[in-house]
Chains A and B, each alone.
Chain A
Amino acid sequence: EAAVTQSPRSKVAVTGGKVTLSCHQTNNHDYMYWYRQDTGHGLRLIHYSYVADSTEKGDIPDGYKASRPSQENFSLILELASLSQTAVYFCASKGQTYEQYFGPGTRLTVL
Chain B
Amino acid sequence: GDSVTQTEGLVTLTEGLPVMLNCTYQTIYSNPFLFWYVQHLNESPRLLLKSFTDNKRTEHQGFHATLHKSSSSFHLQKSSAQLSDSALYYCALSESNNRIFFGDGTQLVVKP
Contact = CB atoms under 8 A, between A and B. Distances in A.
Contacts of A100: 47, 100
Q: Is the interface of B mostly helix, strand, loop or mixed?
A: loop
B44 A96 contact: no
Given A58-B99, A103-B44, A104-B44, A42 B90 contact: yes
Contact of A98 (B94, B104, B105): B94
Interface in B1-22: 9
Contact of A42 (B33, B43, B94, B104): B104
Nearest to A100: B100
Nearest to B106: A42
Interface of B: 9, 33, 35, 43-47, 50, 90, 94, 97-100, 102-105
30 contacts: A31-B97, A31-B98, A40-B9, A41-B104, A42-B90, A42-B102, A42-B103, A42-B105, A43-B45, A43-B90, A43-B102, A45-B99, A48-B98, A50-B98, A56-B98, A58-B99, A90-B44, A90-B45, A96-B97, A98-B94, A98-B97, A98-B100, A99-B35, A99-B47, A99-B50, A100-B47, A100-B100, A102-B45, A102-B46, A105-B44
Given A31-B97, A42-B104, 15 more contacts: A31-B98, A40-B9, A42-B90, A42-B103, A43-B90, A43-B102, A45-B99, A48-B99, A56-B98, A90-B44, A98-B94, A98-B97, A99-B35, A99-B47, A100-B100
